[in-house]
């Protein structure tokens, strides 16, 4: 059995060594797919002797699915992990002990993903830990073709592990808000596609089974997306911070739930409205408006 880990990078010198250290005992091969970093990312990767390939960035799904074409065909399982994430010791042990025992009908493995914000674990708000599919049989899974919030999808049976992947980004709050400003443009594209249907709709949304990602995506696409712009951001924040007890996460948690649960969502809605206004005022179609306003070619 051979496990290949894929890490997508761009200027990840703060995180890459920590990530590799957490997976090197379980991954037989580590492939770093870099988008032409300008810091020490490549030097760190090469110092570990991992495989390095480079490709211009379009979006996560495109980059990851391209990476799947670059790994060895004798790979048995693929591990998806971000550079600012680490495997818990418990999950590492589960992978080493239990992954070889899984039947050939099991195509993917779910685990928990927990997040830290400003160095503090986020425990409330109903968002962490969340179940994510990060291990899948080579040739049986791929990343959803979306601009934002991408999940790995498989068609066969899955297994649940109890260990965690921990997202612990060490960059500043200024970096975080800049990143989420960029994310909001990409999410606006996905939300606009639900209304205008200008590209293939690829989604794990489902009410069947116990897949948390599928259920949350269904609610987002069938309920949240149909609420009025602006109001839905406030409603979502209120749900997370009050009903799901986000206020128990303290001061760092208050910042996280407000910024990620309200500010970010409201920014997505504001950009959606800006695109629609540009369409009305200039008589252009959705793709032209998105390129002019969001800088995205879909």
Mean pLDDT of 8-27: 98
**In this model, does residue 211 exceed pLDDT 80?**
no
User: What's the pLDDT tens digit per position in 237-291?
Assistant: 999 999 999 999 999 999 999 999 999 999 999 999 999 999 999 999 999 999 9
Q: How confident is the model at residue 207 (pLDDT cuts 50, 70, 90)?
A: low
Alpha helices, DSSP H, located in the chain: 16-23, 41-47, 60-68, 89-98, 173-196, 212-222, 231-238, 250-258, 264-282, 286-294
On whether the 3-168 domain is CATH 3.90.550.10, my answer is yes
Question: Given the structure tokens 């390095």, which residue do they identify?
Answer: 52
* Model confidence pTM above 0.95: no
- Please report the DSSP string for 185-243 in residue order: HHHHHHHHHHHH--S-------SSTT-HHHHHHHHHHHTGGGSPTTHHHHHHHHIIIII
Nearest-CA neighbor of 105 among 149, 156, 63? 156
What Cα–Cα distance (Å) separates residue 120 from each residue in 117, 132, 253, 255? 5, 21, 8, 11
Specify the DSSP element, H or E, that contains 158: strand 157-168
Q: What is the mean pLDDT of the chain?
A: 94
Res 209: pLDDT: 61
66/294 Cα distance (integer angstroms): 24
For the chain, domain boundaries = 3-168, 173-294
pLDDT per position as a tens digit, 51-107: 999 999 999 999 999 999 999 999 999 999 999 999 999 999 999 999 999 999 999
Residue 210 pLDDT > 70: no
């Amino acid at each position: 059995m051979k496990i290949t880990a894929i890490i997508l990078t761009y200027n990840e010198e703060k995180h890459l060594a920590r990530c590799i250290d957490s997976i090197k005992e379980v991954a037989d091969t580590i492939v770093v797919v870099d988008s032409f970093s300008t810091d020490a990312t490549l030097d760190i990767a090469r110092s570990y002797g991992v495989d390095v390939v480079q490709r211009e960035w379009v979006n996560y799904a495109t980059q990851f699915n391209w990476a799947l074409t670059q790994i060895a065909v004798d790979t048995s399982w693929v591990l998806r992990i971000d550079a600012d994430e680490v495997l818990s010791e418990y999950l590492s042990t589960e992978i080493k002990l239990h992954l070889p025992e899984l039947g050939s009908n099991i195509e993917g493995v779910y685990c928990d993903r927990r997040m830290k914000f400003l160095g503090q674990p986020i425990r409330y708000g109903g968002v962490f830990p969340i179940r994510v599919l990060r291990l899948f049989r080579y040739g049986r899974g791929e990343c959803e073709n979306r601009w934002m919030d991408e999940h790995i999808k498989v068609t066969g049976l899955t297994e649940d592990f109890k260990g965690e992947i921990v997202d612990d980004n060490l960059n500043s709050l200024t970096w975080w808000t800049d990143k989420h400003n960029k994310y909001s443009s990409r999410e606006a594209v996905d939300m606009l596609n639900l209304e205008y249907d200008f590209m293939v709709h690829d989604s794990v949304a489902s009410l069947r089974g116990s897949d948390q990602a599928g259920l949350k995506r269904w609610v987002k696409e069938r309920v949240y997306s149909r609420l009025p712009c602006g109001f839905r951001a406030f409603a979502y924040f209120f749900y997370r911070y009050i009903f799901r007890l986000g206020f128990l996460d303290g001061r760092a948690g208050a910042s996280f739930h407000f910024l990620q649960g309200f500010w970010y969502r409201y920014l997505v809605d504001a950009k959606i409205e800006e695109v629609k206004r540009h369409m009305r005022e200039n008589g252009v179609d959705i793709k032209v408006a998105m390129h002019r306003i969001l800088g995205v070619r879909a």
